[in-house]
Structures are given as C-alpha cells and as structure tokens.
Amino acid sequence: MNGSKRINSLRVSPIRKLMPYAKKCEENGIKVIKMNIGQPDIKTPKVFFDAMCDFDFEVLEYMDSRGIEELINAFIDYYKNFDIEFEYDDIIITQGASEAITFIFMAVCDLEDEILVPEPFYANYGNFADIVAVNLVPIATKAEENFSLPSIDVMQEKINQKTKAIMISNPCNPTGRVYTESELKTVVEIAEKNDLFIISDEVYKEFVYDDHRFISMASFKNIEQRIIILDSISKRFSCCGARVGTVATKNKMLIDNMMKLAQARLSVATLEQFGAAALQRVDPNYIKNTLDIYKNRRDIILEGLSKIDDVIYNTPEGAFYTIVKLPVDDAEKFVIWTLENIQIEGATLLITPANGFYSNDTDGIDEVRISYCIDDTDIKLGMEILKRALEEYPGRKA
Amino acid sequence: MNGSKRINSLRVSPIRKLMPYAKKCEENGIKVIKMNIGQPDIKTPKVFFDAMCDFDFEVLEYMDSRGIEELINAFIDYYKNFDIEFEYDDIIITQGASEAITFIFMAVCDLEDEILVPEPFYANYGNFADIVAVNLVPIATKAEENFSLPSIDVMQEKINQKTKAIMISNPCNPTGRVYTESELKTVVEIAEKNDLFIISDEVYKEFVYDDHRFISMASFKNIEQRIIILDSISKRFSCCGARVGTVATKNKMLIDNMMKLAQARLSVATLEQFGAAALQRVDPNYIKNTLDIYKNRRDIILEGLSKIDDVIYNTPEGAFYTIVKLPVDDAEKFVIWTLENIQIEGATLLITPANGFYSNDTDGIDEVRISYCIDDTDIKLGMEILKRALEEYPGRKA
C-alpha cells in the first residue's frame, strides 16, 4: 500500500525549509528578522473587511465558477489603468495566482509538454509544473548581468516539438527585474517564431521603482491570441489571505478550457470575492503610499549591500525581492549558520537560499533572495547582521 | 498554437448543461422549480458571518498551509460526535471537498492508476480524475436494487495491478443510499485483500433518515492506515460558498504528500476559515432542524413519486438526492421537453439527467437525479409537473 511517486518530485519550499531553525531562535528569545517572506506587512485596505461584513445574503452560496460579476468588472476597470482592455469573457477569477498557474499549465500543456522560463524563477512554478506533469525548461540568467534575458538565439536552442509556451514573471520574483520593452519584444519574437503561448505573471505590476516602466504583455495587441496574463490582488493590496487571483486571455479556446477546470472546482470563496471587488474603491493614494514605502526599504537594502565586501548585487527595479550573490561556499549553510551564530541587539536574520529558485540542485548555490516586507528599522538591522555574518562565516570564500 | 488535449475529456457538468434552457424559461416569465441543484437553501448560521466580521488583524495574511489551528481543532471536536478520533497532524483543511478530492487522487495514484467507484457517482469525481490523469473504474449499481454494492466477487473482477483505491460517497450523492455495515465491510474486505486505500466522501453524513445509520469509514480502526476521509462544511451548514473542506487520514505518508500539495497552493482563504471554525459553536438544534426539513421534503417527493406510473424509485436514505428511473427514451430529451412544454401554475421543472453520473455515455440514459434543496410547496408542485410531463411526453415508453 504505497502512495504515488509523483509527489516525491515536489520540493519543499525554500522558505519553509528553514522555519524550524527560525522557530528555535524564537523559542530561545532571539528575534528573527524575516527577510525571507513575500507576505506584505502593509495594512490591508479597510474597505475589504467592510465589504465582507456588509454581505447580507442569508445563505452563503456557490458563486459562478467564473467569479462574481462585481469582481470581474473590477479587474476590467483596473486593467484600463494600464491601457489593457479585457472583456468579461476574457477573465476567470481563481483561488489566488496559484490556481491560475495550474489552470494555465493544464490548458496549454499535455503531459510532458514544456514551458520555457527564465531562471531563477518562483519556486512554486516548478511545483505546479510537477503536479500537472509539465516540464519547465530553464533559460539561464545571471546576477552578473542583472538577470537580463539572453539573446533570441540562446533561447531558441531550448525549443523543441514539446515546447508550448514561454513564461515570465514581470516584475520578477525572485530577481526584482522589470523587463525592458526590448526584452519583452524578444519574448514576443521567440513566441511568434515557434508558435508559443506567452504566460505573463504580473502580480507585482504596481511595484516598479525609479524610471523603470512596467509593460504588460497584454499591450502586445497584435499577438493577443498568444498572451495569457496571471494576476492577483495579494501583493498590491496586502491581502494574500484572500486567495483571489485571476487569469485573463483573449484566447477563447484557452478560456473555455480553463472554465472547465473552474467548473470542476465549483467556485472561489464567496465572501473574499466581495471583499476583493470592493478594493476597486480604494483611494489611489493607497498604492502610491505603498510603493513609496517599498522603495524606501529597497534603498535601505542597497545602502546596506554597498557596505558589504564581495557581494554581487543589482538595484532591484521592481517587486520586493532581490537576488544577491554571496562570497560563501553554500548559501543554505550560511543562512543556517547565521541563525545559529549571529545576533545584533538580540536579533538574527533569516533570508532565503536561492537554490530553491533554480531547477538544478547545484545552481544558485551561493545566492540568496532577500525580501523587504518588514519595517525600515528591521531592514537596517538585518543588513548589519548580514554584513557581520559574512565577515565571520567560516565558509567564506576568499 | 493549440491548447492541451487533456481538458477535452472533461465533461460539462450535467447540471450546467441545461442552464440555458432554464434561463430561457425565466426570461419568458416562467418560474423554474430547480430540483437539480445541490446548493442548500437553509440559512447559513449567523455565527459564521459574525466571526468574519470579528476578524481584527490589520493584514489579511496567508495562513498555515495545513489550515488555521482553530478550524482543525473544530473538526477534531466535531468528529468526536461520531466516535472518530483524529489528531491535529491527521487533518488538512482544503478549498472545499473539491480540492480534497484532487489532493487524495494525486497522493494515492500515479498517472493512469485506477480507483474503483460505485456507479452512478458524483460527476466531478470523473472530472478531477481526468484532471490528474487517474482512471475511475465503475462498479455498477442499479436502481432496481436500491444501488446496493455488489458482491465482493463482482468487485474483485475490476481489480488489477493499477488499482490503488476504492472510493465511496456515503450517504451517497447522487443515489441517496446510506451504506449498511455489511456493505462497508465488503469494502474493507476488498481493500484488505488487494492492498487498497479506501476513500470515503462523507460530506452528507448529517443527512440520514428513518432508521438508517451513518457509519464512518474511520470507525474501522484496525485498518486506519488505509482510510482517507473527505469532508466539507458546505452541505451541513449551508455554506457552499465558504469553500472549506478537509481531508483526514491516519496515514502519515499520505498526509505528508498532501501537505506538499497544500504548501504549493500556499493556503486556504483566511477569513472563511475563521467563519468555519466558529460553526463549532452552532446550537446542535440547527443540524437537527435542518435534518427535519430535508426529511419532510423527501417524504413529499416519495408521495409524489408514488402517484406516478412506471417509475422505479427507492426511499432515499440520506443526503438530499435520489435517482429515479423514468419510462422515457432519453432523460435529457425529457428534461428539456419538460422545460419547453409543461407548466403548472406558471412554473416548470428542472431535474438532472443522470447520464452525467455514469462514466459511459449510454448508461443511466432513462434516469434522473432529483434533489430537494427548495421549499415544500415548490417540491409538491415540482412532483405534479413531473407527473404531468411523463403523461404527455411523446418519447414515453410503453
């Protein structure tokens, strides 16, 4: 009586793996500065909670599998801010972007089909791909080159008969890159040349710093049949717990296929959908203020990194993550060693070994992902801890 | 640029398929008596909504992938009412029973593995199986035999090297059967003999009528490693829209595997979990009153059926469905014809052709599923419409 083998390939989240070490610190009264998580700390807009309390139906019923009309319309209106035009039938509300990813993979790929994805990539892309028996084919990008997409020729080498799509996260978790128009055009070119879908994860679209500009894949209107956008309210409105995301595409065949999946799971949680729909009424200053807060945090990280010797880092352009290459033998060992050995003002630091964002166990071994979903003071202290840890770590490379 | 082929096999829900016909009636001012749906009409306990409004965190965060502690403990306490003992680590909260089914299929089966299931069965079992590339192998049961499970020898013939589990719905959607201890023992016997898991869908456990007694598969404690229970608050507390279900098993390997799937999708909607946890405080009379209401409705249906010639029906023992064999050429045609041709007091009737609950397109062709999630007056009228429709339907069999 054995369980299935297919789940064995799923990797434990690079974030969760270290939780026992962090827990032990906390049990010993040591504060853990958590620069590992993607859980925003900004207050969720009150209108979300108010809308849920205003719900006045007597029976909490299944909603339409596509999502409630108010919420679909809210997304349509929201996208207009980005000059993106989606219609009602182009959108399906999903249980977070997580479900959207599964729906897209299933709708695009048969068993063992392939999707290209720039690496490092969000660890759960890999898990969802394993779950639905799709192969992610990494396109290497490097810290030394600010994780720029390679030339079309390099990408072309990865394509074969089983390649069905190319997927990007823009702004990128985990690298903090915001892709340029020129890079996006390369993606379009490779898709057109090889008849691929383009899957664009745009959940961090509101978090773009300095002069960088977010360009939605949906703005390439002449290839709209190839474009699939996945999105979520989790990050921009600090409401990860709502589990409300969306998939949007002008491709009717894909939407029809994904609707079958949506119908099988019946519907998304009702009340959280009403809360999410109300977010359309949030004062635009909420997003502006949020962006200012994250930008300031990013600047603190940059200042901290500038004081540390021998690290390779870039200026994060978007999202609230950055990948940093450290002068260490093994980032996972380093992170654990730091938790166990370094404290400043009674606090230690938890960051994420970046290996989990690579498909190969031996890649990204000296890199970490640093996130900034905590307050300025803690970030400043976190960077001091990182500096000291790198100075004292026995596995430091020359 | 084609989408995947694997979604093509998904069948449109037997309920949704007829919605356009019902909609047309409503547009023409005709009331449609909906004896097709599994959406309870009883009021959701107020405590659910109150708990959500009482939520006083400032950030709507991801919760633990396993589910919130309050809710897991609420399920543990609830199961004690049935003399079932689950511990914290035996339970995972899921996005409705829907997600629980997917988790279980994935954890038990590799690609193309098989699960036995008495037929007719809940249509979405088939869809979820298709989604995760598992084959459901039907065990035929018949209206003429009150959908009793066949002998162990008949089941044994369906088993091969790829068979991993046997799955039952008890009380059964769509048949209304509550399996006897003797039938459950047959399931246990076949599982032990062939080293199978037993997947028991017990979401209707509170709906059991007359002298019938619900026996949870979890009460077979000497084979607890084989048993997987799936459950949901949707039906018993009239809150399908909460999307809160659970999977419970004493098998640690399975739980560990399913936790990986839970972690990939991060967490279940936060606020709905708090609402669901509060349901543990609902006055026990709520369930008792609900049961009385459904039992009364069932009796009205039985009285109605007793007045109709040439139908084969059983006394529903549980849940709020029954399968009825009609003297018609094709139940789907009959249902559509009824919508288009029969009205009493300005109302017509929508019931579900049962073919969708069979894996083979040609089975159950003269059967319908009747549900009773509407009020007594409408049920009474619905049965009159059914009687008249059967009298006048041109495709009636002699």
Contact B306, B314 (CB under 8 A): no
User: What average pLDDT does the segment B242-246 reach?
Assistant: 97
pLDDT of A352 over the 90 cut: yes
Per-residue confidence (pLDDT) for residue B56, from 0 to 100 = 84
Residues of chain B in contact with residue A66, where contact means CB-CB under 8 angstroms, are: none
Contact B117, B137 (CB under 8 A): yes
Per-residue confidence (pLDDT) for residue A7, from 0 to 100 = 86
A133 touches B: beta carbon within 8 Å: yes
Cβ partners under 8 Å of residue B378, min gap 6:
B33, B347
pLDDT of A110 over the 90 cut: yes
pLDDT of A52 over the 80 cut: yes
Rg (CA), chain A: 21
Per-residue confidence (pLDDT) for residue B85, from 0 to 100 = 94
pLDDT of A330 over the 80 cut: yes
Exposed / middle / buried, residue B365 (Cβ in 10 Å: 0-12, 13-18, 19+): middle
Confidence band of B232 (pLDDT split at 50, 70, 90): very high
Cβ atoms < 10 Å from Cβ of B2: 10
- Interface mutation vs chain B, best among A1, A195, A233, most B CBs within 10 Å: A1
| Partner-chain residue, chosen from A44, A124, A264, that has the shortest CB–CB distance to B128 | A264
Confidence band of B166 (pLDDT split at 50, 70, 90): very high
Show the CA angle centred on residue B85, arms to residues B283 and B108, nearest 5°: 115
Per-residue confidence (pLDDT) for residue A112, from 0 to 100 = 93
Residues of chain B in contact with residue A98, where contact means CB-CB under 8 angstroms, are: 264-266
Do the chains contact at A95 and B243, CB–CB below 8 Å? yes
pLDDT of B55 over the 90 cut: no
Report the C-alpha gap between A354 and A394 in whole angstroms. Answer: 20
pLDDT of B364 over the 80 cut: yes
Percent of the residues in chain A that have a pLDDT greater than 70, as a whole number: 99
pLDDT of A147 over the 80 cut: yes
B268 touches A: beta carbon within 8 Å: yes
In this structure, what token pair is assigned to residue B13?
């829900």
Cβ atoms < 10 Å from Cβ of B104: 30
The per-residue pLDDT for range B248-299, each reduced to its tens digit, is: 999 999 999 999 999 999 999 999 999 999 999 999 999 999 999 999 999 9
Confidence band of B328 (pLDDT split at 50, 70, 90): very high
Q: List the strands of the sheet with A321-325, edge to edge.
A: A321-325, A367-371, A352-353
Of chain A residues 156-185, which have a CB less than 8 A from chain B?
A: 164
Of chain A residues 189-218, which have a CB less than 8 A from chain B?
A: 195-197
pLDDT of B6 over the 90 cut: no
Exposed / middle / buried, residue B23 (Cβ in 10 Å: 0-12, 13-18, 19+): exposed
| Partner-chain residue, chosen from A5, A264, A269, that has the shortest CB–CB distance to B131 | A264
pLDDT of B398 over the 80 cut: no
Alpha helices for chain A (secondary structure H):
19-27, 46-54, 69-80, 96-108, 123-131, 152-156, 181-194, 252-264, 270-278, 284-306, 331-341, 376-392
| Partner-chain residue, chosen from B40, B131, B254, that has the shortest CB–CB distance to A106 | B131
pLDDT of A55 over the 90 cut: no
> From the CA of A52, how many Å to the nearest CA of chain B?
7
pLDDT of A312 over the 90 cut: yes
Per-residue confidence (pLDDT) for residue B12, from 0 to 100 = 72
Nearest residue to A37 via CA among A18, A24, A11, A9: A18
Confidence band of A196 (pLDDT split at 50, 70, 90): very high
Per-residue confidence (pLDDT) for residue A204, from 0 to 100 = 97
Confidence band of A3 (pLDDT split at 50, 70, 90): confident
Instruction: Count the residues in chain A.
Output: 398
pLDDT of A79 over the 90 cut: yes
Strand-pair category, A135-140 with A91-95: unpaired
User: What average pLDDT does the segment B203-222 reach?
Assistant: 96
ipTM of the complex: 0.93
Of chain A residues 97-126, which have a CB less than 8 A from chain B?
A: 98-99, 106-111, 113, 124
Predicted structure pTM score = 0.95
In this structure, what token pair is assigned to residue B12?
């449109």
User: What average pLDDT does the segment B337-348 reach?
Assistant: 98
- To which residue do tokens 């956008």 refer? A229
Per-residue confidence (pLDDT) for residue B361, from 0 to 100 = 87
The number of angstroms, rounded, from the C-alpha of B167 to the middle of its chain's C-alpha atoms is: 12
User: What average pLDDT does the segment B340-362 reach?
Assistant: 95
Do the chains contact at B111 and A109, CB–CB below 8 Å? no
Scored b (16 or more CB within 10 A) or e, B243-281 reads bbbbbbbbbeebbebbbbbbbbbbbbbbbbbbbbbbbbe
Show the CA angle centred on residue B279, arms to residues B276 and B282, nearest 5°: 170
Per-residue confidence (pLDDT) for residue B9, from 0 to 100 = 76
A269 touches B: beta carbon within 8 Å: yes
User: What average pLDDT does the segment A206-215 reach?
Assistant: 97
The per-residue pLDDT for range B72-90, each reduced to its tens digit, is: 999 999 999 888 999 999 9
Establish how many alpha carbons lie within 13 A of residue B297's alpha carbon, considering only the half-sphere containing its beta carbon.
27
Per-position DSSP letters for B210-239, written without gaps between them: TT-----GGG-GGGGGGEEEEEESTTTTT-
pLDDT of B358 over the 90 cut: yes
- Give the single-character DSSP code of A394: T
Nearest residue to B155 via CA among B131, B184, B122, B190: B190
pLDDT of A261 over the 90 cut: yes
Report the C-alpha gap between A118 and B78 in whole angstroms. Answer: 47
User: What average pLDDT does the segment A168-184 reach?
Assistant: 98
Per-residue confidence (pLDDT) for residue A255, from 0 to 100 = 96
Do the chains contact at A260 and B127, CB–CB below 8 Å? yes
| Partner-chain residue, chosen from A42, A52, A128, that has the shortest CB–CB distance to B264 | A128
Query: What average pLDDT does chain B have?
Result: 95
Confidence band of B57 (pLDDT split at 50, 70, 90): confident
The per-residue pLDDT for range A277-303, each reduced to its tens digit, is: 999 999 999 999 999 999 999 999 999
Query: What average pLDDT does chain A have?
Result: 95
Report the C-alpha gap between B370 and B313 in whole angstroms. Answer: 11
Confidence band of A272 (pLDDT split at 50, 70, 90): very high
